[in-house]
Protein backbone atom coordinates (compact mmCIF):
# COMPACT_ATOMS: atom_id res chain seq x y z
CA UNK A 1 0.00 0.00 0.00
CA UNK A 2 1.36 3.41 -0.97
CA UNK A 3 2.50 5.55 1.94
CA UNK A 4 0.35 8.69 1.62
CA UNK A 5 2.81 10.82 3.62
CA UNK A 6 5.74 10.44 1.22
CA UNK A 7 4.27 8.67 -1.83
CA UNK A 8 6.42 5.55 -1.52
CA UNK A 9 5.48 1.96 -2.31
CA UNK A 10 6.88 -1.04 -0.40
CA UNK A 11 9.53 -1.68 -3.08
CA UNK A 12 10.79 1.91 -3.22
CA UNK A 13 14.25 2.66 -1.83
CA UNK A 14 13.40 6.36 -1.38
CA UNK A 15 10.62 8.90 -1.83
CA UNK A 16 9.99 10.19 -5.37
CA UNK A 17 12.26 13.13 -6.21
CA UNK A 18 15.02 12.15 -3.80
CA UNK A 19 18.40 13.18 -5.27
CA UNK A 20 20.40 10.21 -6.57
CA UNK A 21 17.33 8.11 -7.30
CA UNK A 22 15.23 7.33 -10.36
CA UNK A 23 12.25 5.36 -11.58
CA UNK A 24 12.74 1.76 -12.70
CA UNK A 25 10.50 -1.15 -13.66
CA UNK A 26 9.40 -3.33 -10.77
CA UNK A 27 11.35 -6.60 -10.88
CA UNK A 28 8.62 -8.43 -8.98
CA UNK A 29 5.96 -8.00 -11.70
CA UNK A 30 8.29 -7.06 -14.60
CA UNK A 31 6.57 -3.68 -14.90
CA UNK A 32 3.07 -5.07 -15.49
CA UNK A 33 1.74 -3.91 -12.11
CA UNK A 34 -0.04 -7.24 -11.58
CA UNK A 35 0.70 -10.65 -10.12
CA UNK A 36 -1.86 -13.43 -10.46
CA UNK A 37 -4.55 -10.92 -11.44
CA UNK A 38 -4.00 -8.70 -8.39
CA UNK A 39 -2.01 -5.47 -7.92
CA UNK A 40 1.67 -6.21 -7.30
CA UNK A 41 2.46 -5.83 -3.57
CA UNK A 42 5.93 -4.41 -4.26
CA UNK A 43 4.98 -1.51 -6.58
CA UNK A 44 1.32 -1.18 -5.50
CA UNK A 45 0.22 -1.89 -9.06
CA UNK A 46 2.15 0.94 -10.73
CA UNK A 47 4.76 -1.31 -12.34
CA UNK A 48 7.45 1.14 -11.20
CA UNK A 49 9.74 1.55 -8.17
CA UNK A 50 12.15 4.30 -7.07
CA UNK A 51 15.74 3.06 -6.79
CA UNK A 52 19.18 4.49 -6.20
CA UNK A 53 21.13 5.33 -9.34
CA UNK A 54 24.46 3.67 -10.08
CA UNK A 55 27.58 5.78 -10.12
CA UNK A 56 27.76 9.03 -8.39
pLDDT by residue for the chain (56 residues), tens only, comes to: 767 677 788 898 988 889 999 999 999 999 999 999 999 999 999 999 999 987 65
Residue 25: phi, psi to the nearest 5?
A: -70, 140
Q: Based on C-alpha coordinates, what's the Rg of the chain?
A: 11
Distance CA 29, CA 6 (A): 23
Amino acid sequence: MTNIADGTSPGDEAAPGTPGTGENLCRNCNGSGELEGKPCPVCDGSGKVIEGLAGG
